Structure 1
Amino acid sequence: MRLFAIGDLHGCYTALQTLIETVPITPQDLIITLGDYVDRGPDSRHVVQWIMDRSARAECIPLRGNHEIMLLDALKGRIPMQHWLQFGGDTVLKSYAPPGRAGMPEDIPVQHLRFLDRELLPFYETKTHIFAHACPDDQVSMRQQTDDALYWARFDNIQPHVSGKTVICGHTAQKSGVPLNRGFAVCIDTWVYGKGWLTCLEPATGQYWQANQQGESRSGELEEPVT
């Protein structure tokens, strides 16, 4: 079994389709998706459905991102609806809207909301790697992490984790379009909803594949660590 990690998707289903056609993934392999499936891009609905389908076949481990948290918080009244909408929630409602009318929160299927609420994991660990949406606190074990570290902390100040494992994360958009390798941590959010790319990394080899919303694809290997 090979293991792959896919960075922040943000409703960019065309890029996801192109990426999956490009990466040599088999049904025996495992995909870890790093969260932020919704907001900003045009097709959150199909991205969420793809994640659900893969997870149901035990081919995908879906992690939670801060944008899933904002969506649920807005729909449950924990934050103002306008706060979510201004961070890309408007594109989510459009993707679920029936033809010919504006989207409403009630257009989102209960099954999708239940999945986003109950089935996403806060992190995933192997013997050598930690996978999280944002940047774990380097001083404590993964079971001691705060929500702020797991979902909101930026990559800028990340330090080697106390476990000695390599962190693979997203959340902090690399507008260069290239994964940022710090040696002890790699950020694979490469700004697909902007003018960048969606990245799939094979941590064991350092090889990555990318696709964008124009249906283009490319591949490469992680650059030498930036210190």
Structure 2
Amino acid sequence: MRTFVIGDIHGCYDELITLTKNINLKDEDLLISLGDLVDRGNKSKEVYEYFKNRPNSVVLMGNHERKHLNGTLSYAQEIVKIQFGERYAEFIDWLKNLNYYYETEDAIIIHAFFEHDKKLEEQKDEVLSGTTSGDRYLEKKYPENTYWNEFYKGEKPIIYGHHVVGDYPKILNNTYGIDTGSCHGNYLTAIELPSFQIHQVKAQKNYWTEEQKKWQIPVLKNKNWNAMTFTEIDKQLAKLAYIKEEEIVGFLNGLQEWKDQLQDSLRDMKEMIDHITRSIIEKNPDTFPLEVEKYLFKGFMYKSRTNRLEVKDLEKHIDTPQKVLDMQMELKNAQ
């Protein structure tokens, strides 16, 4: 049985298959992914399925897997969520079982960082997986413009990924950095153990540049705009204001118009609440508290009763598109 440790794949399925063919990978061989299976490449789901179904495979937790698991989705993760569709929940469940390191007789395998003065079992998960918090933690520990492997003096080699080191693995102080940027059009790299022989495949193209353009509209349409606050929507629109592509500009302009219409409707809602409140007072002034109990917006009605209801009161509490739509339905049913 042979052992191969493969660097950050990032959805580059075709390169993965080519590499396994080049090394003549057999079922009895152990294949270890040091994390970041998905995101940025064009076939993240296929990479996931390959490792899920392949015998003698180990996958470590990378920072991109952590983002999916924790629900902190940026653009790359939002793309993958759409690609997985109904199987995304299955993917998340699978991620829960990933380990943060793997050790063989020949090497320690991690995704990202390693504190040189701590034992393997003492390492923090956020350090091993290369999260933002792990990165900030190490910034306080090590001198500026230095990297953890500059201080490593251990006898056992460490194989890691996470940061693109160039076209060829970075070998320093018995550490091997093997993220060679396959999703950016560079190389997918594997190390064979115990010989530490390097195997590489050139990526067919810069997948991430292509994927970013391809998925802009689907990702925008897939966002849960209804659940965002109007302030959050404004921030998203401001963040995307630099985009000049006609189709995307059209979508964003439509989103802006929709948001403005919903916010403008709050004035009409106030008038409707005032009208319903006055009607109750005119008909049953003595039983007003009892009459308003059936309305979900009774808090606004109490303010309206004493002429204290203002549009800003509605703006404070009805601060998402969904809340506006729900209130519109409530008012319609109340008439």
| TM-score, normalization by structure 1 | 0.77
Distance 1:157 1:122 in 2: 17
Distance 2:109 2:6 in 1: 10
Distance 2:197 2:79 in 1: 32
Q: Which amino acid aligns with 2:21?
A: E
**Could you list the runs of 5+ residues in structure 1 that have no partner in the other structure?**
98-106, 216-227
The match for 1:219 is none
Check if 1:188 corresponds to 2:178. Answer: yes
RMSD of the TM alignment (CA)?
2.1
The match for 2:37 is 37
- When the two structures are aligned, how many residues end up with a matched partner? 192
Distance 2:119 2:57 in 1: 24
Distance 1:191 1:50 in 2: 20
Distance 1:73 1:110 in 2: 12
The match for 1:134 is 112
* Structure 2 contact 4–192 (Cα < 8 Å) conserved: yes
Q: Which amino acid aligns with 2:50?
A: W
Q: Which structure dedicates a bigger proportion of its chain to helix?
A: 2
CA deviation map 1:155-176 (0-9, x unaligned): 93314656521000100112x3
Q: Which amino acid aligns with 1:7?
A: G
**Could you list the runs of 5+ residues in structure 2 that have no partner in the other structure?**
136-145, 206-335
Q: Which structure dedicates a bigger proportion of its chain to strand?
A: 1
Question: How far apart are residue 110 of structure 1 and its match?
Answer: 3.2
- Residues 189 and 12 of structure 1: is their aligned pair in 2 closer, same or farther, counting only changes over 3 Å? same
Distance 1:161 1:141 in 2: 12
CA deviation map 1:11-62 (0-9, x unaligned): 11111111111112222211111000111111111111111012xx2x1111
Q: Which amino acid aligns with 1:91?
A: I
Secondary structure at the aligned position of 1:193 is classed as helix
> Identity over aligned residues, as a percent?
30
The match for 1:73 is 70
Q: Which amino acid aligns with 1:73?
A: N
- Residues 144 and 157 of structure 1: is their aligned pair in 2 closer, same or farther, counting only changes over 3 Å? closer
Q: Which amino acid aligns with 1:180?
A: K
Q: Choose between structure 1 and 2 for higher RCO, CA contacts under 8 A separated by at least 6 residues.
A: 1
* Structure 1 contact 169–188 (Cα < 8 Å) conserved: yes
* Structure 2 contact 115–148 (Cα < 8 Å) conserved: no
Q: Which amino acid aligns with 2:104?
A: T
Check if 1:60 corresponds to 2:48. Answer: no
CA deviation map 1:59-106 (0-9, x unaligned): 1111110000001111xxxx4xxxx223x1133134325xxxxxxxxx
Distance 2:78 2:41 in 1: 10
Matches within 5 A, 1:1-227: 1-54=1-54, 57=55, 59-74=56-71, 79=72, 84-86=73-75, 88-97=76-85, 107-118=86-97, 120-152=98-130, 156-159=147-150, 161=152, 163-174=154-165, 176-214=166-204
Q: Which has more radius of gyration?
A: 2
Distance 1:199 1:91 in 2: 24
Distance 1:208 1:128 in 2: 15
Distance 2:27 2:108 in 1: 22
- Residues 199 and 38 of structure 1: is their aligned pair in 2 closer, same or farther, counting only changes over 3 Å? same
